[in-house]
Structure 1
Amino acid sequence: MNTEALIQKAINKKIISFNKDRTRITYLLQNKTKSYKTEEIVQVDAYLKLIFDYNYPKENIKLFVPVKMGSDNREADIVVYSDKTHTKPLIVIECKKSDVSEAEYKQSVAQGFSYAVSIGADFVWATSNIKNEYYQVSKKYPQKHEEIANIPKLGGKVAAYKYAKNGNSDYFDLSIVSEDELTARFKQAHNALWGGGELNPSEAFDELDKLIFCKIWDERALRRTGEAYDFQIITESNNGEIDNQATLDNLAERIHKLYDKGKEKDPEVFKENIRLSPSRIKTVVEYLQHINLSATDLDSKGRAFETFMGSFFRGDFGQYFTPRPIVQFIVDALPITHESMVLDTSCGSGGFLLHALDKVRKEADEYYPDGIAIDGKKESAEHHNHWHDFAEKKLCGIEINEQIARTAKMNMIIHDDGHTNVIAADGLLPIDDIVVKNQNNEDVIIQQGITSLTQNTNFENNNFDFIITNPPFGSSIRQTEQAYMHQYSMAKKDLDWLKPNDKTKNRDNQSTEVLFIEKCHKYLKEGGYLAIVVPDGILTNSSLQYVRDNIEADYRIVAIVSMPQTAFSATGAGVKSSVMFLRKHTAQTTETIKAQKQSIKDDILGNTQFFKQLSDINTNKKTDIKNSIGFENTDNLEPEELNKTEAYKNWKKSVNEAYKSKIDNIKEKLNDKYLADKKSQLQDYDIFMAIAENIGYDATGKPTNNNELDFIGQELQRFIESLG
């Protein structure tokens, strides 16, 4: 039972009450009123669990109990007694706020233990709600912390473990938690791993990912009702006494077995073994052992994981995260179905992929409304297969950063699969090199004795219906750094049609966003859609006209939607950007457009006899310079002496500039003529244009109540549908 349900039940049974704005709580049995915040929220939760989950009579429970500690007077948060007269203390409960640090939590354990020893209690429960530890007070001297799996229920014994499938009178079942609580658990577990300095935050993130992976595999394992889960603390004894070290070692052994089993089934997710010590493994298990990830609402656990990822990666890896409103706008506008092949060439943590999966899941809701899993009802096979086949076979991602790629795979696992089609590779590599790299990775895995492999055969040119992506921009790839650069036409300088005998040359470098536009064209089927976030320079810079010319030939421009300057400010990027929707032309259409453009250029050159004009101008220039026309040789110097004077050099420079200006003016007129003729002769079509000034969040990433992308997306969706 979750906290809110416990509170409502307690109010109905007149155990507690609140004031109108719920800022103060009254414990009716003791008639004590407290401010309802931080630690008090945790204390109320523990108090009500003792009554409703552990079945202790409320009369046996006392709050705010004075404890004499030497010369000091302290106060235990909660004490459970064996009797209503409060003569025999049984359990001391020490409560801390939910976001307590690991060091503070350990202090609360020591504090609760000292109270228990002082008053003669048998057990200690230290809780922050997010984390719980239970101890039995040793009867031998010196008294030591004997950790147990759980405190006993009323009239029960100390059980070796707490969680069993479906639960019973002695054990608890796993719980579905809220999005906020799940996010908090992820964050607290991560902070606990790196807070001590043994791991850096990045290493801690990887290790936490591995244990979440183990948790999911434990929940998926077949087990009968009443059987214990492996991902939990199970108390071990030696000669009748609790053995804390054996408890640690056996927990670590179970976790490693879960991990090995998961790696066998999903070898592409993690390559390295778990690096955590048994005590560190225990720390994470204590944060996650009681939650039911499988049964938690997909949206809630997905958002929780994304929120946790965002809080961790924002400092160093913000470029990998496209804000949710932009992702949702792009995916919702496109006609993606369960039959679509979908790719993100720079998938980051998998945001675009997950929204595409969510779209197909909603499609399954429409086709199989009776098959939706609600309130514990099992999802129908038809509903499951509809979206799962899409995730497994048609939803693909490429991510250059291996750590982020693993995170994307974990994100997909948490959303119930699709991760097998996320690969770690440079998205700009030729397709053959990507396939080879993947096969090499698999060869290594085979040598380790794992034969259950997923073949990523989807990464082929001309294979995808939709590419949805936000590629990295603002950086350049140099010809000298990447051997694949020569395979990109936009890594070469275009021939200048107004320059005689011009030859194709390689560019020294090219921006990543330009290369990704060309790469996506290769991956798309004819008629396939590309939705890509680009810096506005692609659309406006005169030096990038050749990029727009290539786009014009390769794609039908469907829509340009301008984002506000602050769209990516929260992730550390301030570049003004837009979302460009393109549809790949057939090869014949592209060749026709290129031929039409060349024909227009040829006609202009022929009609104006430009190259003859150019030759005549250059001849006249040489004649003027040779004969010093327009230069007054007042000193009657000989040519060889004249050439050395500053006056002559300045005059010659001005002549060159004058003739160059004359040529540039002619070229400008011819270019204008070309653009005008191209506009009149090439096929005309409508382009959806929109400017979004408010997109659901501000420059800090804080949500707002105004998202113009909702309306723009609906109109764009209708526009795309009209294209057929």
Structure 2
Amino acid sequence: MNIEDILNGSKYNLTQFSQESITSLLERVIEKNNKGKPALYVECLIRKKLIMLKPEEIVRQLYIDKLNKQYGYPLNRMAVEYVVSFGREKKKADIVIFDKDRKTAPYIIVELKKPKLKDGKEQLKSYCNATGAPIGVWTNGEQISFYNRKDPNYFEDIPNIPSVDESLADILTERWTIDTLIQKDKLVQERKSLKDLILEMEDEVLANAGVDVFEEVFKLIFTKLFDELQSGRDKKRVLQFRNYGYTETELKEKIQNLFEQAKNKWEGIFGESTKIELTGSHLSVCVSSLQDVKLFNSNLDVIDDAFEYLMSKSQKGEKGQYFTPRYVIEMCVRMLNPTEDENMIDTAAGSCGFPIHTIFYVWKQILREKGIKQSNLFTSEEKPVECTDYVNEHIFAIDFDIKCVRVAKMLNLIAGDGKTNVLHLNTLDYERWDEVTKEEQWTDTYNEGWKKLKKLRSIKNSNQFFNFDILMANPPFAGDIKESKMISCYELGKNAKGKMQSKVGRDILFIERNLNFLKPGGRMAVVLPQGRFNNSGDKYIRDYIAKHCRILAVVGLHGNVFKPHTGTKTSVLFVQKWDNELCPYKEDYPIFFATMQEPSKDNSGEKIYVTKDGKPVLDTHGHLIVKHDLYNHDGLTQDGIAEAFIEFAKKEKLSFF
């Protein structure tokens, strides 16, 4: 029997602790019988008696050791199972550190019994309120949170607890630069996600603040990205998106001022008169939740998860719109192998995952040629002019949902250093584009990108056909198009017998529309419901595709990939349009088929991560790696479907490999 056996199946983990600390605990463990069964025991550092090891006790002993050795608190200032009275009811706090001057007054309380943050935080608040302790810590050995009790209803997130010779003021008055933020990033140090933090903020204040949660969180993320960008380019600059002990009024003024600067830098996302609507006290809670998180130089999953949650909350996925997981996007980009001189578009852009990963992929090529090291990450570093030119001239995105467009525009503006070709249009209803694009408000925001898109039309003054080299998209599946005027614009508006239909699946029209965006020899990756590949009634759609292009590959995605939003089974279709030079017509040719074996998410839609010897494997930036078999993650995982396709493509002498 060992410690892993005890932890197995519990919500506790040991990633917060050093290997040295864990080894030290293991050396003290003894095995003895408990009711005829073997059990592990250790002498408690504080109680000085043998205690049977359960998951919570393992974490408690390691955390006592950390408080003693790392923070310097003497064991005689600590107590475990400290009795807290709630009228007649009595509960026991897991670890208490007493005030150095008032020897019986709790100063820091640590909660371990509730391994879920929400439950643990509630328990911790009740202990701090009952004892007057100003500082609380919750941990399950993997995640950790530190709080300063301001008043019974407000616990502020703090970056750490003071060590034995520091005061709380020392922790809070430190001025942070970007390097401090990198070093103390909560996403890495505490294994939190941005979505977790938004959920906490909702519990604390947003749900009752009487504001549009999406809009207010969007403003804060937008402002924080601007602050990090400024400091990323001037390492000595002090970060402004922080509460350095300001009053609520002072803080609101400072954050509003920063928001105004961000709006000036990245125009067209918020109106000129838009203000932060949160009250000073609500804003103060939100700033303290977000200030220790680094949004730049973290993989875009961080921002995706947050916006996917906010979007699904405000729209309930009614249009069948779900953000495509980054690992599916990355596989598509690797398999289509875009280059610096090719034009790429996403016609159902969502948060712009396909365009941004295409940008990263091509940037790597540009930087490799220039001998500059660059990771595939969202970065605030200044880029060579070739990189920003590529974003400004070759990358396009369209979406009909204004919230998606604004998120996509923000991410693309940052990648393109202030310029972008993200457009708010209904991709399928191209006959009405000329009306929309004449509206003054639309023109003010999107005209630069629209002028560039028009240059890629293959017939002058027609919005039906374009000359794109690459298209990648995950069009919405839900709902049928019932407008006869729109349906009549499409060949696939007719059924197998050639009769015009009264309603057509949205994704069916997207197939034809997307192919019309491609020039001859152009290539496409599109996510489709599995039924389109095997329903007998959809044979006419498959025939249409085969007539217009070579089917390169079909990759079946696991049913959990789009959970928790939908369990619809999907596949990615890869095609290349017939062309005498790049893709000469063939009657018969091999097709690459593959099916994802690793689910990547559990049945409830939570991501599954790569582990080794029971510990999570982290990438070079300290981020967890999702467990999938779509491609090799920087040499840390096995080759996957993308690598197998690349071999196939080279063997078949496909034009883009």
Normalising by structure 2, report the TM-score. 0.69
What's the counterpart of residue 631 of structure 1? none
Q: Pick one of 330, 333, 342 that aligns with 1:331.
A: 333
What's the counterpart of residue 283 of structure 1? 285
| Contact 1:266–1:420 (CA under 8 A) maintained in structure 2 | no
2:97 aligned with 1:79:
yes
- Specify whether residues 687 and 18 from structure 1 end up closer, same or farther in structure 2 by C-alpha distance, changes over 3 A only: farther
2:242 aligned with 1:217:
no
- Specify whether residues 560 and 362 from structure 1 end up closer, same or farther in structure 2 by C-alpha distance, changes over 3 A only: same
- Specify whether residues 34 and 162 from structure 1 end up closer, same or farther in structure 2 by C-alpha distance, changes over 3 A only: farther
* Separation in structure 2 between the aligned mates of residue 416 and residue 212 of structure 1, nearest angstrom: 18
Letter of the 1:93 partner, please give it: I
Q: Mean alpha-carbon deviation: is it higher for 462-471 or for 365-374?
A: 365-374
* Separation in structure 2 between the aligned mates of residue 144 and residue 511 of structure 1, nearest angstrom: 50
2:202 aligned with 1:193:
yes
| Contact 1:94–1:109 (CA under 8 A) maintained in structure 2 | no
Mapping 1:402-441, distance limit 5 Å: 402-409=402-409, 420-430=420-430, 433=433, 436-437=436-437, 440-441=440-441
Q: Which runs of 5+ in 2 are unaligned?
A: 1-13, 32-39, 458-465, 609-626, 631-639
Residue 427 (structure 1) shift: 1.5
| Contact 2:594–2:641 (CA under 8 A) maintained in structure 1 | yes
What's the counterpart of residue 18 of structure 2? 7
What's the counterpart of residue 35 of structure 2? none
Q: Pick one of 552, 559, 565 that aligns with 1:559.
A: 552
* Separation in structure 2 between the aligned mates of residue 417 and residue 466 of structure 1, nearest angstrom: 23
* Separation in structure 2 between the aligned mates of residue 34 and residue 457 of structure 1, nearest angstrom: 71
1:60-88 Cα shifts (integer Å, max 9, x gaps): 742427467587766552315437xx848
* Separation in structure 1 between the aligned mates of residue 530 and residue 154 of structure 2, nearest angstrom: 63
Letter of the 1:232 partner, please give it: R
* Separation in structure 2 between the aligned mates of residue 560 and residue 172 of structure 1, nearest angstrom: 43
2:185 aligned with 1:176:
yes
- Specify whether residues 537 and 589 from structure 1 end up closer, same or farther in structure 2 by C-alpha distance, changes over 3 A only: farther
- Specify whether residues 404 and 44 from structure 1 end up closer, same or farther in structure 2 by C-alpha distance, changes over 3 A only: farther
* Separation in structure 2 between the aligned mates of residue 146 and residue 530 of structure 1, nearest angstrom: 50
- Specify whether residues 433 and 27 from structure 1 end up closer, same or farther in structure 2 by C-alpha distance, changes over 3 A only: farther
Mapping 1:316-395, distance limit 5 Å: 316-317=316-317, 319-323=321-325, 326-364=328-366, 366-368=368-370, 370-372=372-374, 381-382=383-384, 387-395=387-395
Please tell me whether Structure 1 or Structure 2 has the larger radius of gyration of its CA atoms.
1
What's the counterpart of residue 714 of structure 1? 646
1:96-138 Cα shifts (integer Å, max 9, x gaps): 6574338x7366345324424xxxx7x434556654332579x
What's the counterpart of residue 229 of structure 1? 239
Residue 467 (structure 1) shift: 0.2
Residue 321 (structure 1) shift: 3.4
* Separation in structure 1 between the aligned mates of residue 284 and residue 60 of structure 2, nearest angstrom: 22
- Specify whether residues 470 and 253 from structure 1 end up closer, same or farther in structure 2 by C-alpha distance, changes over 3 A only: same
Residue 557 (structure 1) shift: 1.4
What's the counterpart of residue 213 of structure 2? 204
* Separation in structure 1 between the aligned mates of residue 64 and residue 552 of structure 2, nearest angstrom: 55
- Specify whether residues 232 and 561 from structure 1 end up closer, same or farther in structure 2 by C-alpha distance, changes over 3 A only: same
3-state SS of paired residue (2:573): strand
Residue 289 (structure 1) shift: 1.6
Residue 469 (structure 1) shift: 1.5
| Contact 1:109–1:126 (CA under 8 A) maintained in structure 2 | no
* Separation in structure 1 between the aligned mates of residue 388 and residue 435 of structure 2, nearest angstrom: 24
* Separation in structure 1 between the aligned mates of residue 174 and residue 599 of structure 2, nearest angstrom: 41
| Contact 2:333–2:358 (CA under 8 A) maintained in structure 1 | yes
Q: Pick one of 148, 158, 170 that aligns with 1:134.
A: 148
* Separation in structure 1 between the aligned mates of residue 239 and residue 43 of structure 2, nearest angstrom: 38
2:525 aligned with 1:531:
yes
Residue 342 (structure 1) shift: 1.4
| Contact 2:348–2:427 (CA under 8 A) maintained in structure 1 | yes
Residue 368 (structure 1) shift: 4.7
| Contact 2:21–2:65 (CA under 8 A) maintained in structure 1 | no
Letter of the 1:234 partner, please give it: Y
Residue 583 (structure 1) shift: 1.9
* Separation in structure 2 between the aligned mates of residue 378 and residue 359 of structure 1, nearest angstrom: 17
| Contact 2:108–2:135 (CA under 8 A) maintained in structure 1 | yes
- Specify whether residues 221 and 314 from structure 1 end up closer, same or farther in structure 2 by C-alpha distance, changes over 3 A only: closer
What's the counterpart of residue 664 of structure 1? none
| Contact 1:334–1:720 (CA under 8 A) maintained in structure 2 | no
Q: Pick one of 499, 514, 520 that aligns with 2:514.
A: 520
* Separation in structure 1 between the aligned mates of residue 64 and residue 225 of structure 2, nearest angstrom: 27
3-state SS of paired residue (1:221): helix
* Separation in structure 2 between the aligned mates of residue 276 and residue 43 of structure 1, nearest angstrom: 42
* Separation in structure 2 between the aligned mates of residue 560 and residue 397 of structure 1, nearest angstrom: 24
* Separation in structure 1 between the aligned mates of residue 599 and residue 108 of structure 2, nearest angstrom: 46
| Contact 2:46–2:80 (CA under 8 A) maintained in structure 1 | no
3-state SS of paired residue (1:398): strand
* Identical counterparts, % of pairs: 20
Letter of the 1:476 partner, please give it: D
Residue 551 (structure 1) shift: 4.3
* Separation in structure 1 between the aligned mates of residue 170 and residue 506 of structure 2, nearest angstrom: 59
Normalising by structure 1, report the TM-score. 0.64
3-state SS of paired residue (2:286): helix
| Contact 2:108–2:136 (CA under 8 A) maintained in structure 1 | yes
Q: Which runs of 5+ in 1 are unaligned?
A: 138-142, 237-246, 447-452, 497-504, 591-681
Residue 213 (structure 1) shift: 2.1
* Separation in structure 2 between the aligned mates of residue 322 and residue 20 of structure 1, nearest angstrom: 49
What's the counterpart of residue 688 of structure 1? 590
What's the counterpart of residue 634 of structure 1? none
3-state SS of paired residue (1:420): coil
What's the counterpart of residue 475 of structure 2? 471
Letter of the 1:514 partner, please give it: I
Residue 468 (structure 1) shift: 0.9
Letter of the 2:472 partner, please give it: I
3-state SS of paired residue (2:226): helix
* Separation in structure 2 between the aligned mates of residue 568 and residue 378 of structure 1, nearest angstrom: 30
| Contact 1:559–1:580 (CA under 8 A) maintained in structure 2 | yes
| Contact 1:353–1:397 (CA under 8 A) maintained in structure 2 | yes
Residue 410 (structure 1) shift: 5.5
2:655 aligned with 1:723:
yes
Residue 184 (structure 1) shift: 3.5
* Separation in structure 1 between the aligned mates of residue 536 and residue 178 of structure 2, nearest angstrom: 68
- Specify whether residues 484 and 717 from structure 1 end up closer, same or farther in structure 2 by C-alpha distance, changes over 3 A only: same
Residue 431 (structure 1) shift: 7.8
| Contact 2:428–2:510 (CA under 8 A) maintained in structure 1 | yes
Count of aligned positions = 578
